[in-house]
Chain A
Amino acid sequence: MSIVLRWLVTAYALLFCSLSLAAIGDINMPVGVTPISKEVYGLHMMIFWICCVIGVLVFAVMFYSMFKHRKSKGAKAADFHESTVVEIIWTAVPLVILIAMAIPAAKTLIAMEDTSDADVTIKVTGYQWKWHYEYLDSEISFFSSLDADHNAARQVGSGIDVSQFDNYLKEVDNELVLPVGKKIRFLHTASDVIHSWWVPALAVKKDAIPGFINENWALIEEPGVYRGKCAELCGRDHGFMPIVVRAVPEEEYEQWVAEMSPAPMVAETSEDSAPAAADGDAEREWALAELMEKGESVYNTSCAACHQANGQGLPGAFPAIAGSPVATGPVDAHINVIYAGVSGTAMAAFANQLSDSDMAAVITYQRNAFGNTVGDLVQPSAIKALR
């Protein structure tokens, strides 16, 4: 059995080398920064140690038997094959352990589900593949998507070394800013498929389901940046819609709200304020070059995930823009597809996701890029007229 031994030694050496390389702190659930997350962590460690003790006892008996009661050591087989007393004991003892575990678990669960008396309410909407945040107590709302540099680096064959990013795939363009010490209620929904908003440090994970609203809550105790991910498979870019929560002291939060409210930070892509924020943009005439430049950047953030950066799409799944009958056909039909989406397919309605000038630019871009040479251009005012 020397070959077996050698394999064993090699493989486990490999395992333990990696163990020393890996940050040991990253092999367990984070304690988190909310009362609930701390309770959950406590439950997790309690059940973990209970399982360890059960495992050690069970394996100890098993391995003792395997070493002692082997034929090569001259063990003679006994012939007992039942014992009602023993059977009752090993049915009853686990039951008692289970009840002992169920009580604290039920208490935590009740606390988790109590969303009453919240100080701040945030509506979180999942989109393929970004998040939309709406502060229901003020006028603030914005989209939050994967940081552009990370997005460029994560493309297949990008040639960019992703290890240069400290928080690879964990940075967004617009962070969700929340106050410390306040009970925050989250309302979860989705616009297309099911997503799941998960921030481990807050012990918050809830499915965002189109047509339904789910609730949960968090009370963040320490200022800091907490990162999360979408946890429910939601299509091609499921792995690329991170969440970043910045928790700040209350005064700082009030200041941020005041700054954001009159002129939202991301006016261009802001849902409620899109027509208002467009101010001059939607009124004036845009030049082709200007629309094309803006269109390219909008295309890369909003369209390229499916239709691909080169406009070729993925045959059978996502149609090509290059030479497509929509992008080279009548402009009104093209606008309608972008504005209202195509029901029954993955093509979303962008009316609420993009501003007038974004939509005008991206339509113009699609009609005049990737070898399409329609030559016409769409003015933001044409989109504004649809609203």
Chain B
Amino acid sequence: MSTATADHHDHDDHHGPAPGLMRWVYTTNHKDIGTLYLLFALVMFFIGGGMALIIRAELFQPGLQIVDPLFFNSMTTMHALVMIFGVVMPAFVGLANWMIPMMIGGPDMALPRLNNWSFWIMPFAFAVLLSTLFMEGGGPAGGWTLYAPLSLQGGDNLAFVIFAIHFMGISSVMGSINIVATIFNMRAPGMTLMKMPLFVWTWLITAYLLIAVIPVLAGAVTMLLTDRYFDTSFFSAAGGGDPVMFQHIFWFFGHPEVYILILPAFGIISSIIPTFARKPLFGYASMVYATASIAFLSFIVWAHHMFTVGMPLAGEMFFMFATMMISVPTGVKVFNWIATMWRGSMTFETPMLFAIGFLVMFTIGGLSGLMLAITPADIQYHDTYFVVAHFHYVLVPGAIYSIMAATYYWIPKWTGNMYDEKWGKIHFWVSTVFLNVLFFPMHFVGLAGMPRRIPDYSMQFADWNAVATIGAFGFGFSQLIFVYVVYKCIKGGEKATTEVWEGADGLEWTVPSPAPYHTFETPPAIR
């Protein structure tokens, strides 16, 4: 995408991209690697989405019509693993690669070769993970949470899944170290920490979360591996172990992971809303502190995923109160965004539409999250479609919408061309309508008593499941519009200006569009 030549540049620039396919294999350029990450995430988005459509097709009506229950379980498991580790995380890393050096006025990432490696691990990790679907016995079918002892019952796919998770973990940790090193070492003189754009801040905090918790996940899955193949009994009561210990370790990773999936989104939204409101972000400092508070709280709420496992009363109380506390910094963020819009001069181009979609629907997901924090009620909600509705509201119009918003927002800078505004808006509206048709009814069936992860259900849930399936297919296919818009934008279109957006503020909008292959070889002057 970034095929700009040196003639945009005011000084000597002989390191253009290498010709041919090998450019992408050998590249150490942060823009190329960012592009690779984003394209990888897009491909995985359709693979994970295809799995979701298999799930929804089977759930269209009661009775088993299409798939065996075991395959259904492996679809729910793989859908989650692909969407979390293959879509949201790589997409955010791709955005970090593209934008962080440009936002802080640095020439590239601090560790470019490590950067190349952390990307190129990913396709192999996912080839291993997806290959389990074609093995005898099928893919992992114990849920993405891999709870012991169920996950230990399956075939040898477990070994491959664990291997793939280790690979992804190595990639994430290397990517995170790179981001931390970049932010601390590559800032232009005068770019103090409290002048950094919020996307950089949220990614800095996310990177620390990743470095802290990925090894915890690695430990948990390695213990599963030795339980399965080397006769240890970490999670087997018969051998003196404890199945619940797996859940504690897993969610000690898993809850910070939830914020890994949403903090960079907060950063993106904090960039987009001020641009289209033509007004500076309200409460910059409190946004930074709120992000840090959320990150801290994320380490002390893990057991709210486990209110039914039989914890002591004191434990349940602690995790209930700690979980409720999260709504305070999250609320601060939402209020700050609204205050940024207040008395602005707003226009509603596609990135702003997605940002507002994020704001509205993430708030809905946040409020159902508050309901889930109330332990006695959570015991009823737990493991039902109410939970499924909640986390899809924070992940799809949350994480995914922020990635879409970011793409529309920065793609003119990446390609030098404006995207097709009309189709961008159509993409937003069609997605948003179908998304709500898909996920909103899940609140109803969940409250009425439909457990999650079941391939077949009672007649009372039939109507809403049919509605949700229609929404799913509508939402799934409307993402083809996104592919069309992105493709068209790469191919050509109205030329983008340097500023791109009228209200744009930040160093990335001071370099030409498309951004030259190398930017800020000499650091910019910071106001």
Interface residues of A (CB under 8 A from B): 1, 3-4, 7-8, 11-12, 14-15, 18, 21-23, 26-30, 36, 39-40, 43-44, 47-48, 51, 54-55, 58-59, 61-62, 65-66, 69-72, 75-83, 86-87, 90-91, 94-95, 98, 101-102, 105-106, 108-110, 112-113, 153-158, 160-163, 165-170, 188, 192-194, 196, 198, 200, 203, 205-207, 209-212, 214-215, 228-240, 314-317, 344-346
- CB pair A193 B150 closer than 8 Å: yes
List CB contacts (< 8 Å) of B106-137 with chain A. Answer: 135-137
- CB pair B346 A70 closer than 8 Å: yes
Please tell me if B18 contacts chain A, counting CB pairs below 8 Å.
no
- CB pair A154 B324 closer than 8 Å: no
List CB contacts (< 8 Å) of B397-449 with chain A. Answer: 425-426, 429-430, 433-434, 437, 441, 443-445, 447-449
- CB pair B62 A168 closer than 8 Å: yes
The 0/1 profile, CB within 8 Å of A marked 1, for residues 351-378 of chain B is: 0000010011001100110110011110
Please tell me if B455 contacts chain A, counting CB pairs below 8 Å.
yes
In whole angstroms, how far apart are the Cα atoms of A108 and B331 in the complex? 26
Q: Count the B residues whose beta carbon is within 8 Å of the partner chain — how many? A: 121
Please tell me if B154 contacts chain A, counting CB pairs below 8 Å.
yes
Q: Nearest Cβ in chain A — how far from B474, in angstroms?
A: 7
- CB pair A75 B343 closer than 8 Å: yes
- CB pair A233 B138 closer than 8 Å: no
4 tightest A-B CB contacts, nearest first: A211-B237, A316-B137, A316-B136, A239-B454
The 0/1 profile, CB within 8 Å of A marked 1, for residues 233-244 of chain B is: 000111000111
Q: A18-B467, A66-B356, A81-B283 are in contact. Are A102 and B384 (CB under 8 A)?
A: no
Please tell me if B466 contacts chain A, counting CB pairs below 8 Å.
yes
- CB pair B243 A205 closer than 8 Å: no
The 0/1 profile, CB within 8 Å of A marked 1, for residues 330-360 of chain B is: 0110110011111111111000000010011
- Residue A69 contacts which of B62, B69, B309, B346 (CB distance < 8 angstroms)? B346
- CB pair B448 A27 closer than 8 Å: yes
- Taking CB atoms, residues of chain B closer than 8 Å to A160 are 63
- CB pair A62 B360 closer than 8 Å: yes
Q: Nearest Cβ in chain B — how far from A109, in angstroms?
A: 5
- CB pair B332 A81 closer than 8 Å: no
The 0/1 profile, CB within 8 Å of A marked 1, for residues 278-315 of chain B is: 11111111100000000000000000000011100100
List 9 A-B residue pairs with CB atoms under 8 Å apart, sorted by A's residue number. A3-B426, A14-B437, A26-B460, A158-B63, A161-B63, A168-B459, A314-B70, A314-B137, A317-B154
- CB pair A66 B449 closer than 8 Å: no
- CB pair A211 B243 closer than 8 Å: yes
- CB pair B327 A94 closer than 8 Å: yes
In whole angstroms, how far apart are the Cα atoms of A156 and B147 in the complex? 27
In whole angstroms, how far apart are the Cα atoms of A78 and B339 in the complex? 11
- CB pair B243 A209 closer than 8 Å: yes
Q: A8-B429, A168-B62, A314-B70 are in contact. Are A229 and B343 (CB under 8 A)?
A: no
Query: Which residue from chain B places its CB closest to the CB of A63 in the assembled complex?
Result: B360
- CB pair B335 A69 closer than 8 Å: no
Please tell me if B499 contacts chain A, counting CB pairs below 8 Å.
no
- CB pair A194 B64 closer than 8 Å: no
In whole angstroms, how far apart are the Cα atoms of A337 and B521 in the complex? 71
- Taking CB atoms, residues of chain A closer than 8 Å to B156 are 316
Total A-B contacts with CB atoms under 8 angstroms apart: 341
List CB contacts (< 8 Å) of B130-182 with chain A. Answer: 135-138, 141-143, 147, 149-150, 152-156
Please tell me if B3 contacts chain A, counting CB pairs below 8 Å.
no
Please tell me if B325 contacts chain A, counting CB pairs below 8 Å.
yes
Please tell me if B320 contacts chain A, counting CB pairs below 8 Å.
yes
- CB pair A7 B433 closer than 8 Å: yes
In whole angstroms, how far apart are the Cα atoms of A189 and B482 in the complex? 49
- CB pair A14 B449 closer than 8 Å: no
- Taking CB atoms, residues of chain B closer than 8 Å to A61 are 338, 342
- Taking CB atoms, residues of chain B closer than 8 Å to A209 are 237, 243-244, 309-310
Please tell me if B317 contacts chain A, counting CB pairs below 8 Å.
yes
- CB pair B73 A153 closer than 8 Å: no
In whole angstroms, how far apart are the Cα atoms of A237 and B313 in the complex? 32
In whole angstroms, how far apart are the Cα atoms of A279 and B256 in the complex? 59
In whole angstroms, how far apart are the Cα atoms of A229 and B460 in the complex? 14
- Taking CB atoms, residues of chain A closer than 8 Å to B374 are 43-44, 47, 101, 105
- CB pair A71 B73 closer than 8 Å: no
In whole angstroms, how far apart are the Cα atoms of A62 and B277 in the complex? 12
Q: Nearest Cβ in chain B — how far from A219, in angstroms?
A: 16
- Taking CB atoms, residues of chain B closer than 8 Å to A82 are 282-286
In whole angstroms, how far apart are the Cα atoms of A109 and B378 in the complex? 11
Q: Is the interface of B mostly helix, strand, loop or mixed?
A: helix
- Residue A55 contacts which of B237, B364, B445 (CB distance < 8 angstroms)? B364
In whole angstroms, how far apart are the Cα atoms of A112 and B379 in the complex? 10
Please tell me if B65 contacts chain A, counting CB pairs below 8 Å.
yes
- CB pair A154 B456 closer than 8 Å: yes
- CB pair B356 A203 closer than 8 Å: no
In whole angstroms, how far apart are the Cα atoms of A199 and B229 in the complex? 37
- CB pair B278 A4 closer than 8 Å: no
- Taking CB atoms, residues of chain B closer than 8 Å to A94 are 327-328, 331
In whole angstroms, how far apart are the Cα atoms of A109 and B396 in the complex? 32
- Residue A8 contacts which of B67, B237, B379, B433 (CB distance < 8 angstroms)? B433
- CB pair A18 B466 closer than 8 Å: yes
- CB pair A314 B68 closer than 8 Å: yes
Query: Which residue from chain B places its CB closest to the CB of A28 in the assembled complex?
Result: B447
Q: Nearest Cβ in chain B — how far from A110, in angstroms?
A: 7
Q: A211-B237, A234-B150 are in contact. Are A316 and B363 (CB under 8 A)?
A: no
Please tell me if B457 contacts chain A, counting CB pairs below 8 Å.
yes
- CB pair A80 B344 closer than 8 Å: no
- Taking CB atoms, residues of chain B closer than 8 Å to A315 are 136-137
- CB pair A87 B332 closer than 8 Å: yes
Please tell me if B56 contacts chain A, counting CB pairs below 8 Å.
no
- CB pair A79 B68 closer than 8 Å: no
List CB contacts (< 8 Å) of B240-271 with chain A. Answer: 242-244
- Taking CB atoms, residues of chain B closer than 8 Å to A109 are 313, 316-317, 320, 375-376
Query: Which residue from chain B places its CB closest to the CB of A156 in the assembled complex?
Result: B64
In whole angstroms, how far apart are the Cα atoms of A71 and B426 in the complex? 21
Other A-B contacts than A82-B283, A163-B62, A232-B147, 18 sampled, CB-CB below 8 A, are A11-B471, A29-B447, A40-B376, A71-B347, A77-B344, A94-B327, A94-B331, A109-B313, A158-B64, A162-B63, A170-B458, A196-B383, A198-B383, A200-B380, A237-B69, A314-B137, A317-B137, A317-B154
Residue among A28, A44, A83, A317 with the highest chain B CB neighbour number at 10 A? A317
- Taking CB atoms, residues of chain A closer than 8 Å to B63 are 153-154, 158, 160-162
Please tell me if B464 contacts chain A, counting CB pairs below 8 Å.
yes
Query: Which residue from chain A places its CB closest to the CB of B240 in the assembled complex?
Result: A211
- CB pair B67 A156 closer than 8 Å: yes
Query: Which residue from chain B places its CB closest to the CB of A26 in the assembled complex?
Result: B448
In whole angstroms, how far apart are the Cα atoms of A152 and B266 in the complex? 50
- Residue B367 contacts which of A55, A66, A170, A232 (CB distance < 8 angstroms)? A55
